[in-house]
Amino acid sequence: MSEPTHETAQELAPPPERARTITDLARIAGVSPGTVSRALAGKSLVNAKTRERIEALAREHGFRLNQMASRLRRQKTGVIGVAIPLGHDRRQHISDAFFMTLLGYLADELTERGYDLMLRRVIPDRDGDWLDRFVGSGMVDGVIVIGQSDQFERIEAAAARFLPMVVWGNHQEGQRHCVVGTDNFAGGRLAAERLIAAGASTIGFLGSTDPIEFAARYAGAKSVADDKGVPIRALPTHLSPEHAADEIAAHLASDMAGIDGIFAASDMLAIACMTELQKRGIDVPGGMKLVGFDDLPIASQTRPALTTIRQDIAAGAARLADLLLRRMGGENTASVVLPPELVGRQTA
């Protein structure tokens, strides 16, 4: 802006030549590029004094190692790919609360372990090849897939050829890919048991049953309901927050015949449902019992506080990171199924 450059110019040290490549720096230091590389990598082969001198010069000349070149040469990237397939509901936004929470914890875990995280949102039916493209791109050392969506078969196929991949989702007997996830069937059972214990005589399952996680939740709830002779019915609803409210309103207005207990496939759906119920003056839990799924931070903050099935997201993220790193080390890890936990609050 207004620095008096002309007055002091002759006094200033010349701005240090910027060393862009390791070769620039080697020339400045009067050594070979190889030595610079070893010095900056902290290898023991270089003389301690040389190393210090080179490190000082690197700082002074603002040198940054070109990661692209380094990674090409070393054939590893230090990057973990995170893919979020949006197959079952194209309108489901990547900013889905559950995925975002899981992603946040994952970022913490992986950053802590020195990895960067490359995020990719994929719309499978637009790009049938997405998983192979991602794992084969050479840009990532391993891949975490958040949510199987409706891509189970494709993931199985990729797992056969590609070791370092771990998936968040549902576990099925005999599947090949390594998965971390909550026992959704057991979670569904817990939800139904709670609703019935709270006095529900007919249950509605709010959500989609296309993604296998949700299908398992419904199946779990149904197994309990069938045992106890309680009717249960699916109330199909999309998952994107924008559309859910209207669809819930439509359900509430039409086909609720006898339903006095709702098991929502996710907390966000449960909260949207609660709002719609309250709009209609239906008391929760007086007129309608309600159980959610996930136990997002927000679940404890609603009024009445939401009874829900807790997925331990932080633990899940830690397991995902742990298993992936072990697979990257060549180990062939087994899947992990986390136990769900009923968090009894006020809505059922």
The binding site for DNA (CB under 7 A) comprises 20-23, 30-35, 37-38, 40-41, 44-48, 50, 64-66, 69-70, 72-75, 138
| Cβ–Cβ < 8 Å for 219, 205 | no
Stretch that binds a second copy, among 32-40, 48-56, 106-114, 183-191 (CB under 8 A): 106-114
- Is position 98 an interface residue for a second copy (rule: CB under 8 A)? no
- Is position 56 an interface residue for a second copy (rule: CB under 8 A)? no
- Is position 197 an interface residue for a second copy (rule: CB under 8 A)? no
The residues, ordered by sequence, that sit 6+ positions from 45 with a Cβ below 8 Å of its Cβ are 38
Q: How far is the CB of 26 from DNA (least distance, A)?
A: 7
- Is position 65 an interface residue for a second copy (rule: CB under 8 A)? yes
User: Omega before 236 cis (within 30°)?
Assistant: no
Q: How far is the CB of 75 from DNA (least distance, A)?
A: 6
Residues linked to residue 179 through DSSP beta bridges, in sequence order: 167
Quote the tokens at residue 211.
Answer: 């993604």
Q: How far is the CB of 34 from DNA (least distance, A)?
A: 3
Strand pairing of 203-206 and 261-264?
parallel
Residue closest to 61 by CA, chosen among 25, 33, 13, 22:
25
- Contact partner, 301, from a second copy, DNA, none, Cβ < 5-8 Å per class: a second copy
- Residue nearer to a second copy on the CB measure, 89 or 108: 108
- Residue nearer to a second copy on the CB measure, 47 or 67: 67
With vertex at residue 184, the alpha carbon angle to CA 310 and CA 168, rounded to the nearest 5 degrees, is: 85
Residue closest to 275 by CA, chosen among 240, 246, 233:
246
- Is position 54 an interface residue for a second copy (rule: CB under 8 A)? no
- Contact partner, 346, from a second copy, DNA, none, Cβ < 5-8 Å per class: none
- Is position 149 an interface residue for a second copy (rule: CB under 8 A)? no
Q: How far is the CB of 32 from a second copy (least distance, A)?
A: 21
Residue 137 phi/psi, 5-degree rounding, is -75, -15
Quote the tokens at residue 46.
Answer: 């270089």
Residue 158 phi/psi, 5-degree rounding, is -65, -35
Stretch that binds a second copy, among 44-52, 190-198, 222-230, 269-277 (CB under 8 A): 269-277
Q: Concatenated DSSP letters for 95-112?
A: T-HHHHHHHHHHHHHHHH
Q: How far is the CB of 182 from a second copy (least distance, A)?
A: 18
Residue closest to 187 by CA, chosen among 310, 302, 297, 289:
310
- Contact partner, 37, from a second copy, DNA, none, Cβ < 5-8 Å per class: DNA
What does the alpha-carbon distance between residue 284 and residue 225 come to, in Å, rounded to a whole number? 21
- Contact partner, 21, from DNA, a second copy, none, Cβ < 5-8 Å per class: DNA
Stretch that binds a second copy, among 65-73, 199-207, 228-236, 252-260 (CB under 8 A): 65-73
Looking at this protein, which amino acid is placed at residue 61? H
Query: Where do runs of H (alpha helix) occur along 83-183?
Result: 97-112, 130-135, 152-161
Q: How far is the CB of 62 from DNA (least distance, A)?
A: 12
* DSSP type of residue 124: G
Footprint of a second copy on 284-303 (CB under 8 A): 297-298, 300-303
What does the alpha-carbon distance between residue 264 and residue 289 come to, in Å, rounded to a whole number? 11
Of 22, 25, 107, 212, which lies in the binding site for a second copy, with binding defined by CB under 8 A?
A: 107
| Interacting residue ranges for a second copy, rule: CB under 8 A | 62, 64-69, 71-72, 77, 79, 93-97, 100-101, 103-105, 107-108, 111, 116-121, 132-133, 136-139, 241, 268, 271-272, 274-275, 278, 297-298, 300-303
